[in-house]
Amino acid sequence: MIQKMRKVQIIGPRGCLDDCIKALHDAAVVHIESVEAGPQEPFFSRLPMEREKLSEKSYLDKAAERLRNLLALLEPPPSYRTLRVGGGEIRKILDDITPVEERIKLLHARKDELTEELNTVNRYERLLAGFAPIVSRLGGLKNFDIIGLTIEKTREDIAKIIEAEINRITGGSYQLYAKDLDESSIGIVLTYPRQHEPEVRYLLSGKAINEVRLPDEYADMTLINALKQMGRRRGELPRLMEGVEGELNRIANDWYGVMAGLLRAVEDSIDEIGVLTYAAQTRFAFVIEGWVPVDVFEPFKERFLTLFGDRVLVRELEVEEREVQNIPVSIKNPWFLRPFEVFLGALPPPKYGSVDPTLYVALFFPAFWGLIVGDIGYGAVIFGLSLYLRKRFRANNTFRDIFTVLAVSSVAAVFFGFLFGEFFGDLGEKLGILHPLLINRVEALQTLIVLTMGIGIGHVLLGIIIGAVNHLLKGRAKEAVAKIAYLALVVSFLVILGIMFEYLPKGLLTPGAIVLIISFILLTVFEGVLGPLEFVKAIGNIVSYVRLMAVGTASVVMALVANQIGGLSENLVVGIIVAGLIHTLNLMLSVLSPSIQSMRLHYVEFFSKFYEAGGRRYTPFKKR
């Protein structure tokens, strides 16, 4: 339900301001608002930020950025304990981690160097594989230069031109070896007397010829020595990188929790300075305003009285009409309803004073979901999986709530499975252990259509009633009358429809028609042209509930098909495997499709009748 809120004002001498903000931070219940300062509050003025506070905030902002960068450089350990750091310890611990910070940066610089070197060596791997056998045979030649070249295969005629020119320059004193490196290039190793180097270099400066230029760290080596050194480094680099990673992991084990806790403390301190921008001042005092839930107002007031005595005043302010729309919304439900609040996460918060739909979702979502699935076997399997996944993801509130809702819904599926006599389709009936107690879903489609339409009528009308009651409670007479006329119009139309299909006695026709005409006129008067359009929409909403029958029947048919195909096999094992695969697919669809359809019926058909979006979330000033 949406909690009632109280507006509080805290007034105290400026000398108590810092202590008061820390007490607010520890209390973690006040949604702080900016205090109005101006013509409406002539005694209030904006609280200026002192130079010392600005300097402190600048220091903390830099510290936070520094810590975020450090945490990004470390891999979080599998488990660690976040250190609790007080505001007064921040500077000391920051000084303590300075040597660790330098070591982390050096290790990362070393890691980057090794990674770059390994990438360089890997880039030359293809050339190494192609040239190494040739170069090793030429290793004993003295006073000769060795050059590696690559030429595109589409220009391999250049190789003959190169050889002819080298023959001319060196007077036949050369050796040339060519080898295919891959599908697109040829590798050439050329040796020649060292005194001909200028002429050869000039010859090889053409665009189609790529000399194998060694990386800078190998530039002073001969090609032979460079290739040998690269081969050695290729084996050494992974071990060196593992050593660097190992040391980084050891640092993370020792310091990650410290840095994470320190970052939280720094951000908390930044938040405490930031609150000053919301405060105002009088000549001698500070003023802070905000909102607290009704049930915590008195304990909060008592807490401040204990801490500050009569030096700080905590009082409740009267809420003005213009402020009602801006009151923050806090939703609090009993533990058994809380998992169903996950459905509100996809919507904007409801307005303060409107309706929290969590209770209705908790009642109807499992019922709709169970009605669609309606199978003991599927329900039991999904129940077991939901409990396992709930335990597996218990640290994630959203996932934990989703799997809790699925577990509750799967119990409803087992219940409806007993009524429909379904256990993995008709398997229970074939085994003689189960029979339909209520209806057979495959044979009673018309009954299911009527049943689901009836559910739709009840659900949609309930939504309209909730909307009307909410308007009455908030004193909106015009909106309440419009909702009541809307309700009467839908009900009278359904009554006339029931008479036409002989579900209701004909004696209700005249009263139904009179109510229909009057409610139509009233709705048009209060809502204009949109009123009748909403009526047409409501009828369409009711028809939408037939999807409960359609999706459920499709699931039943698929289960029956699985059993029939499995029974056609002459081999029992093969039949079980085939049927099991189809049931597995149907099981996956039985999680996804009923969830989507049930959510849609709530969001579109039900919530649209009363849900008022546009509220602000209650975000109390609390530590991280």
Q: Name 277's Cβ contacts closer than 8 Å, sequence gap at least 6.
A: 34, 47, 49
**Residue 508, Cβ neighbours under 10 Å: how many?**
15
Residue in the structure block whose two tokens are 């949406």: 2
Higher per-residue pLDDT: 182 or 411:
411
Residue in the structure block whose two tokens are 């004993």: 140
CA-CA distances (angstroms) from residue 364 to 1, 19, 347, 441?
Answer: 17, 49, 18, 20
pLDDT reading at 459 higher than 90: yes
Tell me the whole-structure pTM to 2 decimals: 0.73
Higher per-residue pLDDT: 507 or 212:
507
Instruction: Give me the pLDDT at residue 133, please.
Output: 57
Higher per-residue pLDDT: 427 or 597:
597
Instruction: Enter the tokens of residue 32.
Output: 């702080």
Instruction: Give me the pLDDT at residue 5, please.
Output: 92
Least confident of 28-37, 70-79, 166-175, 369-378: 166-175
Give the helix ranges, DSSP H, for 440-571.
445-473, 477-500, 509-527, 530-544, 547-568
pLDDT reading at 255 higher than 70: yes
User: Strand pairing of 328-329 and 616-617?
Assistant: parallel
SS3 (DSSP) at 191:
strand
Find out whether 212 and 149 touch, Cβ atoms under 8 Å. Answer: yes
Instruction: Give me the pLDDT at residue 521, please.
Output: 87
pLDDT reading at 613 higher than 50: yes
Mean pLDDT score across all residues of the chain: 84
Determine the Cα–Cα distance for residues 519 and 494; give it in Å rounded to an integer. Answer: 13
Region 114-121: mean pLDDT is 81
Q: How far apart are the first and last CA of the chain?
A: 26
Q: Name 316's Cβ contacts closer than 8 Å, sequence gap at least 6.
A: 6, 7, 8, 9, 297
**Over the stretch 337-354, which tens digit does the pLDDT of each residue have?**
999 999 888 888 898 888
Find out whether 11 and 311 touch, Cβ atoms under 8 Å. Answer: no
Q: Name 476's Cβ contacts closer than 8 Å, sequence gap at least 6.
A: none
Region 306-312: mean pLDDT is 89
Instruction: Enter the tokens of residue 239.
Output: 């071990």
Region 450-469: mean pLDDT is 92
Q: How many degrees, rounded to 5, is the angle at CA 390 between CA 387 and CA 393?
A: 150
Q: Which residues of 50-66 are buried (b: 16+ CB within 10 A; e: fewer)?
A: eeeeeeebeebeebbeb
pLDDT reading at 185 higher than 90: no
pLDDT reading at 526 higher than 60: yes
**Over the stretch 217-248, which tens digit does the pLDDT of each residue have?**
666 666 666 667 777 777 888 898 899 999 99
Region 582-590: mean pLDDT is 88
Region 499-511: mean pLDDT is 84
Element at 211 (helix H, strand E): strand 209-211
Region 445-467: mean pLDDT is 91
Using 50, 70 and 90 to split pLDDT, how confident is the model at 140?
A: very low
**Over the stretch 532-581, which tens digit does the pLDDT of each residue have?**
788 888 888 899 999 888 888 888 888 888 888 877 777 778 888 888 88
Four-residue CA torsion sign, 602, 604, 606, 608: positive
Region 80-104: mean pLDDT is 86
Instruction: Give me the pLDDT at residue 600, please.
Output: 92
Instruction: Give me the pLDDT at residue 65, please.
Output: 93
Region 65-92: mean pLDDT is 86
**Over the stretch 13-25, which tens digit does the pLDDT of each residue have?**
988 888 899 999 9
Determine the Cα–Cα distance for residues 486 and 500; give it in Å rounded to an integer. Answer: 21
Using 50, 70 and 90 to split pLDDT, how confident is the model at 458?
A: very high
Instruction: Give me the pLDDT at residue 141, please.
Output: 46
Region 128-154: mean pLDDT is 61
Q: Domains plus CATH for the chain?
A: 5-47+279-326 (3.30.70.2170), 125-214 (3.30.70.2750)
Instruction: Enter the tokens of residue 328.
Output: 């923050």
Determine the Cα–Cα distance for residues 557 and 543; give it in Å rounded to an integer. Answer: 22
Q: Find residue 316's DSSP bridge partners.
A: 8
Instruction: Give me the pLDDT at residue 176, please.
Output: 77
The highest-confidence range among 117-121, 193-197, 405-409, 430-434, by mean pLDDT, is 405-409
Instruction: Give me the pLDDT at residue 1, please.
Output: 86
